[in-house]
Amino acid sequence: MKIISCDEAVRFIQDEDMVGISGSGGFGSPENLLIALRKRYESEHKPRNIGVTCGIFPGDLTRNYVGVNNLAIDGLVKVAISSHLGRGRLFGEMISDEKIEAYALPLGVYGHLLRAIAGKKKGVLTPVGLYTFCDPRIDGCKYNKKTKGEIVELIKIHGKEQLLYKAFPIHVALIKATYSDHDGNISLIHEPVIGEQMELAQAVHACGGKVIVEVEKIVDEIKPKEVSIFKKFVDYVVVTKQNPELGDYNFPIYRPELIGEAKYEFEKTKPIPLDERKICARRAVLELKENDIINLGIGMPDGVGQVAIEENIYDKIILSIETGVFGGVPVYGNSFGAAINPIALYKTTDMFDIYDGGIIDEAVLGLAEVDFKGNVNVSKLQNRVSGPGGFINITQSTQNIIFMGSFTAGGLEVEVKDGKLHIVQEGKYKKFKKKIEQITFAAKYATSHHQNIIFITERAVFKLEKNGLTLIEVAPGIDIKKDILAQMEFEPILSPNLKLMDERIFKEEKMNVENEINS
């Protein structure tokens, strides 16, 4: 291992190299290495036409030069392979504008694919992704018309369909960690999310490439149990400082409550407002049972954690995030992925071994578009790319799934008054559509595997049944014809047992479900 500068490090990247980047949205970004790569390209126009691959590309959901946005320059990147492409708006726009070829894989598949590359195998064989946009009979993971290569293949084994996600070489790894010792052993001790850092280092080493790790400090000793990447897999280390001006992005200020070295008192947490987010979260909580392990998706589902605190049931259930967290309550908002007071922290790839095995009792996930059959899109909207993240692994391995989101989007305003829901201003965009832009959740897969699926919105609850989407509950104060059917592009099946949503959801005081969750 040799200590070098960021400027020296990025000179190892050659034209058309595939560069692996650590990252998990708001965490784990080798930020200073990405900045150095951008500055080198701006001054030298080198390297050109590289490939970049990452589990969830780092970014803060802005157009600023943060995370993967540092690579959003014409001619620098030719192709991107990731599970989530849209955390950097500039980079996502380049994909939408056909300037970059792009593939999106399920997050669990991505981590397992790195392992396959590290083991010099041909790829990953799995049912994950069947009937979704990952299926080569649909899009084959491709994210725009510019993307032509085939990275996934449909195979039958013993009469059952499987997808083979193909391995590819990775020439350079840029990895963010906490510490290195003088020999190059790497620790992730202060990282609130342990992503694919180790898998990426091993994959690049197996490909004969260069592994470069950005750390906060060189320390004299790292205990064996705290070594996440063994020195044999590390070629170069750079020592940098993180930028606290970016807020919680990349967590430049150590927060011990996110790794279990301190406890946060949840009693200090203020209740969230009684709006469409809280309505949906409250209705979802009514589905949960004591000791259930519940996966929470990004966006509106993270409100379930906040309601669990308010209802004093956060210690009766086990909330989980696919980034590797069991227990605690997810960090609210843009820094989603870590949890306050976690019980256990796994590597992301190890987490998907567990998830794929079916340990989750319920998954609470977002929805962006839904069609009559019950197919769901969360990965591509109005040409704005994002990707599936762990959504596909989770929805194909969990028996009970709760999709939640506002009924319409783009300016929706609601008011809860006297125990009833009022639509103050309707959203501009319908979410329940005849045809969705991309299939991230396939109803065909769910019904063939007898999964239990419900869709929760602030004004209505639907259930996926054999014949399609069925309306089973309506919020008090809502007119079915005006507020529901007129805001859908198709007419759902109306349940003969249609009922009102629980009236406690629409009152300011607690629902008092602490005793009910035992059932």
Alpha-carbon distances of 24 from 18, 141, 505, rounded to whole Å: 19, 20, 33
> How, if at all, do strands 293-296 and 362-366 pair?
parallel
With a CB cutoff of 8 Å and minimum separation 6, the contacts of 519 are 289
Q: Cite the DSSP H helix spans in 97-160.
A: 107-118
Alpha helix locations (H) across 99-196?
Answer: 107-118
Q: Which has the closest alpha carbon to 457: 503, 419, 409?
A: 409
Q: At what angle do helices 107-118 and 348-356 cross, to 10 degrees?
A: 110
Q: Which two tokens stand for residue 69?
A: 């946005």
The DSSP bridge partners found for residue 401 are 363, 453
User: What order of strands is seen across the sheet that includes strand 493-500?
Assistant: 344-345, 325-326, 318-321, 293-296, 362-366, 400-404, 452-456, 460-465, 468-474, 493-500
Active site residue 322: yes
Of 93, 276, 310, 322, which one is the catalytic site residue?
322
Q: State the SS3 of 424-446.
A: EECCCEECECCCCCCCCECHHHH
Asked whether the bond before 47 is cis by omega within 30 degrees of 0, the reply is yes
For tokens 């606290």, the residue is 244
Residue numbers annotated as active site: 322
